[in-house]
Amino acid sequence: MEYTVRAPIANFTDLLLDAVCMVDAGGRFVYVSAAGVNIFGYTQQEMIGMRVIDLVAPADRERTLAAAQDIMNGHIHTDFENRYVRKDGSIVHIMWSARWSEADQLRVAVARDVTALKQAQAMQSVLYAISEAAHASDDLADLFERSHAIVHEFLPACCFAVALCDTAGQDIEFAYLVDDGAPCDTALMPLLCETVAQCAAPLLLAPDAQDGLPAPLRAAAATLTGGALAVPMTTTDGVVGVIALRNGPDDAPYRTQDRDLLVFVADQLAAAIGRKQLHAQLRFMALHDELTRLPNRRLFHDRLDTALAHARRQQERLSLLFIDLNRFKQVNDSFGHACGDRLLQEVARRVSGCLRNSDTLARLGGDEFVVLLEDIVLAADAGLVLDKIHLALAAPVDLGDGHRLQISVSVGVAHYPEHGGNREELIAHADKAMYAAKAAAALAVSGAHQPA
Ligand SMILES: Nc1nc2c(ncn2[C@@H]2O[C@H](COP(=O)(O)OP(=O)(O)OP(=O)(O)O)[C@@H](O)[C@H]2O)c(=O)[nH]1
């Protein structure tokens, strides 16, 4: 059977932005209006006689054949969607409105290109999924992994990396890195992230667009077979990290929309990192002394309870050293509060230097410090630590403003299990011993002032 379309109708249909298609009972195009050239990428002449199904994306073929049959059975479809492979290999999303013309023995259909709409919807769902993940995830490692999976749906990447900057914003370290791509210079991703962290702006690299890059990055980027895209993660404290992607030579090049998407992802991750840092900061402040940054009374009690439980289970020993500065009030009164603060910081620094990592030095308040010694074999071992502390504090302290001061401390010692089986008993014993030592020291000083 021969079909002819009269010129006035063709003129009219060629003005439509949607493509009008006519397909015979055997599934071959017999007519395609001018818009079909843009939509399918073939000329009108090329399409005539082609089997429609051959242009349909393989994954959509089965349901397309079923829909075609349904139309030929007399049902009208007005919102059927499927994907076609254009002549250049790209995918086009099409929404169809179609019916069967019994008189003409033709499927008459109008094809609308909804690719841009589909991409916008996909982008929207990526944005939604990322913001949901950023708010739901408690753990940054988990958030980075989920972000990778979400972004991967939309942006092809053989390499996905999240680098975090140190607090000074100088060094970067990869907190998440998955690289399944073709080998390239191993320095590329670190250099890319460093550059983006320093300039605090997104960077899009393509094999033929590397002008203006710093020389080391340009050299590393010369090994790039596809594209690379990196954007900074910024909080109110500045750049806290960088997200970087790299794709292969067969992937579509990264576009500005891809960069905008990654900027949104980076903002969400930066907010999550900021929240995490604030949480860690608040937790640190709740458990540490602001002046010396040592554990405070609350954290000390917690550590002592844990250490006692362990010592009881393992039948081990532990010791407490209560340290109180002598006549500290006079330092404040004579040299000012700022000098007093510096003295407390210096005492904290010197005593810390006498201890092992497993020991705890805490500031209980004012001029009172306490040392918790774990892994003590003999009570005499605590005496050795105490000697080191006395020695460390014996050198005069430079308080600035030309003030140098010789200080002394009074120390009370309590051993587990001899002096108590629980926290309260041990603290009470060490406290009492410290006051006894202070009283003895005061007596010695006043004795020294007695005439011989
Ligand atoms: N500079 C400074 N002073 C503090 C701080 N906290 C407490 N103080 C002061 O530390 C002093 C402690 O006074 P006391 O408990 O009488 O101690 P002391 O003068 O060493 O007396 P003795 O222990 O009997 O020798 C008080 O003057 C407090 O105001 C602080 O964070 N910085």
pLDDT tens string 53-87: 999 999 999 999 999 999 999 998 888 999 999 99
Class of domain 119-285: alpha beta
Quote the pLDDT of residue 167.
64
Q: How many CB atoms sit inside 10 A of residue 237's CB?
A: 13
Residue 290 structure tokens: 């602001």
pLDDT of res. 451: 40
Predicted confidence band of residue 3 (pLDDT cuts 50, 70, 90): low
Contact 135, 274 (CB under 8 A): no
pLDDT(445) > 70:
no
Distance 329 CA to ligand 1 centre (A): 5
Whether 287 has a pLDDT exceeding 80, the answer reads: yes
CA 375 to ligand 1 centroid distance, Å: 32
For the domain spanning 297-447, the CATH number is 3.30.70.270
CATH number of 7-113: 3.30.450.20
Centroid of ligand 1 to alpha carbon of 337 (angstroms) = 10
- Helices and strands, number each (H, E), in the chain: 15, 16
Torsion angle of the four alpha carbons 254, 259, 262, 267, in this order, in degrees rounded to the nearest 10: 170
Q: How far is the centre of ligand 1, averaged over its atoms, from the C-alpha of 328 (Å)? A: 5
Q: Taking residues 186-193, what's their average pLDDT?
A: 89
Is residue 344 lining ligand 1, measured as CB closer than 6 Å? yes
**Mean pLDDT confidence for 130-155:** 87
- Residue 289 CB–ligand 1 contact under 6 Å: no
| Best mutation site among 367, 408, 410, 435 for ligand 1 pocket (most ligand atoms within 8 Å of CB) | 367
Measured from the CB, is residue 346 less than 6 Å from ligand 1? no
List CB contacts of 420: < 8 A, sequence separation 6 or more.
414, 426, 428, 429
Query: According to the model, what pLDDT value does residue 101 have?
Result: 94
Q: Name which of 47-56, 162-171, 191-200, 344-353 the model is least confident about.
A: 162-171
Q: How far apart are CA 330 and CA 257, in angstroms?
A: 67
Residues with active-site annotation:
367
**Treating both helix axes as pointing N-terminal to C-terminal, what angle do 337-352 and 379-394 enclose, rounded to 10 degrees?**
140
> pLDDT value at position 450?
46
CA distance 57 to 269: 35
Predicted local confidence at residue 452, as pLDDT = 33
Confidence of residue 414 (pLDDT cuts 50, 70, 90): very high
Q: Which amino acid residue places its CA nearest to atom 3 of ligand 1?
A: 340
Q: And the tokens for 268?
A: 């969400």
- Name the percent of the chain in helix, strand, coil, to the closest 5: 45, 25, 30
Q: Is 324 in the pocket of ligand 1 (CB under 6 A)?
A: yes
The Cα–Cα gap between 40 and 28 comes to 15
Average pLDDT, the chain: 89
Q: Is 345 in the pocket of ligand 1 (CB under 6 A)?
A: no
* Ligand 1 contact via 347 beta carbon (within 6 Å): no
Report CA(325)–ligand 1 centroid distance (Å): 8
Q: Using CA of residue 412, residue 418, residue 421, residue 425, what is the dihedral sign? A: negative
**Would you kindly state where each structural domain of the chain is located, as residue ranges?**
7-113, 119-285, 297-447
Contact (CB, 8 A) for 355 and 392: no
Give the mutation target among 329, 405, 407, 434 for probing the ligand 1 site: most ligand atoms within 8 A of CB: 329
> What whole-number distance in Å separates Cα of residue 69 and Cα of residue 89?
27
CATH topology match: 7-113 vs 119-285: yes
pLDDT digit string, tens, across residues 236-259 = 888 999 999 998 877 778 888 889
Residue 9 amino acid letter: I
Beta bridge partners of 170: none
Residue nearest to atom 5 of ligand 1 (CA): 366
State the pLDDT at residue 240.
Answer: 92
Whole-angstrom CA distances from 391 to 347, 383, 403, 438 are 12, 12, 21, 18
In ligand 1, the atom with minimum distance to the C-alpha of 330 is: 19
- DSSP assignment of 382-435, as one string? HHHHHHHHHHHHHSPEE-STT-EE---EEEEEEEETTT-SSHHHHHHHHHHHHH
Q: Which two tokens stand for residue 172?
A: 């970067």
Two structure tokens written together for 413:
């010692």
Specify the residue for token string 């020993």: 317
End-to-end CA distance of the chain: 137
Structure tokens at 130: 């990322």
How far is Cα 273 from Cα 289, in angstroms, rounded to an integer? 24
Q: Is 49 left (phi over 0), alpha (psi -120 to 50) or beta?
A: left
